[in-house]
């Protein structure tokens, strides 16, 4: 399961955005993530199917949020920390390279 969920960068970005913003309208989420609505809907369907995200409809609006699960929050904290560390490492390595 973890490979399928984390196998697409957009799904990771969706999870991180929902962790940060909470419940979000799908149109707004597509704007936040700079992706198109249809692409977002495909990835969200998988996340809903796995029980990581829940969706509710209010009229025509589709609102999505993370399910209230401690495991998801722990996973996202670890991903955010790993991303931060990798970014720092990449920045340090690129600044240490001698110019050509």
The residue among 53, 50, 51, 40 whose CA lies nearest residue 9 is 40
Taking the C-alpha atoms of residue 55 and residue 68, their distance in angstroms, rounded to an integer, is 13
Helix (H) or strand (E) holding 56: strand 53-58
Which pTM does this prediction carry?
Answer: 0.72
Residue 1, pLDDT score:
62
Average pLDDT of the chain, as a whole number: 85
Highest mean pLDDT among 22-31, 60-69, 91-100: 22-31
Cα-Cα-Cα-Cα torsion 21, 26, 65, 78, nearest 10 degrees, comes to -60
Place of tokens 């990581």: 52
Q: What is the mean pLDDT of residues 56-83?
A: 83
Q: Which fold has domain 2-96?
A: Arc Repressor Mutant, subunit A (1.10.10)
């Amino acid at each position: 399961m973890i490979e399928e969920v984390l196998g697409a960068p957009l799904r990771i970005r969706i999870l991180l955005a929902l962790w940060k913003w909470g419940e979000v309208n799908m149109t707004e989420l597509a704007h936040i993530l700079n992706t198109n609505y249809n692409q977002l809907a495909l990835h969200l369907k998988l996340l809903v199917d796995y029980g990581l995200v829940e969706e509710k409809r209010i009229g025509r609006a589709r609102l999505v949020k993370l399910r209230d699960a401690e495991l998801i929050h722990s996973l996202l904290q670890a991903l955010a920390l790993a991303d931060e560390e990798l970014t720092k490492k990449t920045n340090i390595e690129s600044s240490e390279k001698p110019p050509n």
